[in-house]
């Protein structure tokens, strides 16, 4: 029988995302190298620190692969965060990227709000869930 996990609180998830987003914005300030490191962080972050990003770790959350019932690994993290990494990359394209990137982030947020398990599109791609 599969172990039951508690769906992460949306407010705590938001704070974790705020921590991670702040880190990426700070990295973005450093020309080229900061942007590359920020993009790699977005992609790999949920495979770090026992299944979660720095923000998730600080706030006691983790990303769980549902089928394996294990913490997310780097492949899970890449799949899960592809939409957000795409938005981060698109922000470099004047005008069109500045329009599309926020749409991606808003769409992912709407997925979280509308899904019973609190999963966004990236979670569906990777078969993952953020849990406490």
- For residue 1, is it within any domain? no
pLDDT in the model for residue 4: 72
- For residue 105, is it within any domain? yes
Angle at 66 between CA 62 and CA 121, to 5 degrees: 80
State the residue for tokens 């949920």: 46
pLDDT in the model for residue 3: 60
Expressed as residue numbers, the domain containing 100 is 10-131
- For residue 112, is it within any domain? yes
pLDDT tens per residue, range 106-132: 999 999 999 999 999 999 999 999 999
- For residue 20, is it within any domain? yes
First to last CA, the chain: 19
| Residues in the chain with pLDDT values less than 50 | 1
**Residues in the chain, overall count:** 132
Residue pair 60/132 in contact by the 8 Å Cβ criterion: yes
Residue pair 11/54 in contact by the 8 Å Cβ criterion: no
- For residue 75, is it within any domain? yes
Domain count for the chain: 1
pLDDT in the model for residue 1: 39
Burial 98-109 (b: 16+ CB within 10 A, else e): eeebeebbeebe
- For residue 103, is it within any domain? yes
- For residue 5, is it within any domain? no
Distance CA 55, CA 90 (A): 23
The alpha carbons of the chain give a radius of gyration, in whole angstroms, of 14
Residue pair 63/73 in contact by the 8 Å Cβ criterion: no
- For residue 30, is it within any domain? yes
């Amino acid at each position: 029988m599969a172990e039951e996990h508690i769906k992460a609180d949306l407010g705590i998830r938001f704070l974790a995302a705020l921590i991670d987003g702040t880190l990426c914005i700070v990295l973005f300030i450093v020309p080229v190298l900061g942007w590359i490191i920020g993009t790699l962080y977005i992609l790999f972050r949920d495979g770090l620190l026992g299944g979660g990003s720095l923000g998730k770790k600080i706030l006691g959350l983790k990303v769980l692969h549902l089928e394996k019932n294990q913490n997310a690994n780097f492949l899970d993290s890449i799949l899960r965060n592809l939409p957000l990494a795409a938005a981060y990359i698109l922000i470099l394209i004047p005008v069109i990227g500045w329009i599309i990137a926020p749409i991606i982030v808003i769409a992912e947020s709407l997925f979280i709000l509308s899904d019973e398990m609190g999963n966004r599109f990236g979670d569906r791609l990777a078969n993952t869930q953020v849990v406490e």
